Structure 1
Amino acid sequence: MKKVFLLICSLSIFFGLLPTNTVDAATVNPKTLLEKKFPRERVTVSKSVDLNGDNKKEHLLITDSGNFYLINSKGVIVLIDTNYYNEEDPTFHFLNVSSKEKHVAITLDYPPSNTQLFVFKYQDGTLKNKLSIIGDVSIRISKSGEIRQAWKNFFPEGGWDTAVAYHKWNSKKDKYVGSGELSR
């Protein structure tokens, strides 16, 4: 009888020490995970992608309140930035800047012609902002990851010409380097 009692006590202690609330980011729906942690948030745009080549997806979510979140492959929720809302839903783009590195770009379109672009690099389990520009004529992203920004260069006497700037990732400088007519 004593042995049975000790066995039951030992098993209850053993199973009581096991974590019961582990989160596996690969099996949990990221939208559900975010809305469970932040009940007032409603996800409007989400994408899942492997940003660092570890064969585990990171999840990018933008909510109706304009908050931009990352859920990394370990299930950690990180608020990246705020104020990501406009009349149309933001759009995610993934730039293959090298064979080992992807960047996340978000475009916010403001009709009739303005586009705001934010580009982030995945680093240390979070996203670091590497470029923020506005193309008040247009913004185009090439397959190679080069960004073309067309903007209005206004004349002092009135009117404007289209100016074009190009932004390309420089891994040695760890930033986007601009060329052409850069906006002021």
Structure 2
Amino acid sequence: MKKILILICSVSIILGLLPTSPIHAATVNPKKLLEQKYPREVVTVSKSVDLNGDNKKEHLLITDSGNFYLINAKGVIVLIDTNYYSDEEPTIHILNISAKEKHVAVTLDYLPSNTELLVYKYQNGTLKKKLSVMGDVGINISKTGEIMQLWKSHYPEGGWEIAVAHYKWNSKKDKYVGSGELPR
């Protein structure tokens, strides 16, 4: 009995001394994980989602300093972009492109009516920017991932009307393809 107890204690001590692997790091609170590595960063927006269908969640975080981070399923923290400032809190959207593919969209609102949209595709443990548009009037995103950009088409003599551009993901071209009235 003493030998078993000593063996259990020894194994638990040895396991306690081993460094935590990145895979275990991904299971902890993503906000705390980011704040441990970057103590000055304060997370204001976060979302956790399985982006690639591997049943492991990736974590998306935007901080009060305007930085956008991804913590992938292996627990690796990746700085995706900076200067994510807006008049209202940024919003993270998940676009269901297909049963196996999801994209990450971030909207940044600027008063009185402008909305900037940045769309990313998850590739090789990071996010790659695939679309960046500004909606003078607004941006609408459908559940299927189609994006509608509402912008001001100005008349030469003054004034404007609302123009509408549509963007849809084309997997063969690996990009969003625009149709309708695209901004010049």
Provide the TM-score with structure 1 as the length reference: 0.89
CA shift, 1:144, in A, is 1.2
Matched with 2:114 is: 114
Matched with 1:7 is: none
Q: SS of 1:32's equivalent? A: helix
Is 1:22 the equivalent of 2:18? no
Matched with 2:148 is: 148
Which stretch has the larger CA shift, 83-92 or 46-55? 83-92
Provide the TM-score with structure 2 as the length reference: 0.89
CA shift, 1:26, in A, is 4.2
Displacement over 6 Å in runs of 4+: none
Q: SS of 1:33's equivalent? A: helix
CA distance in 1, matches of 2:165, 2:18: 53
Contact 2:93–2:105 under 8 Å retained in 1: yes
Q: SS of 1:145's equivalent? A: coil
CA distance in 2, matches of 1:36, 1:170: 39
Residues 96/55 of structure 1: CA separation in 2 closer, same or farther (3 Å cut): same
Cα RMSD over matched residues? Answer: 1.9
CA distance in 2, matches of 1:26, 1:41: 18
Query: Which consecutive unaligned segments of at least 5 residues does structure 2 have?
Result: 1-9
Q: SS of 2:97's equivalent? A: strand
Q: SS of 1:98's equivalent? A: coil
Matched with 2:47 is: 47
CA shift, 1:21, in A, is 3.2
Higher alpha-carbon Rg: 1
Query: Which consecutive unaligned segments of at least 5 residues does structure 1 have?
Result: 1-10
Matched with 2:91 is: 91
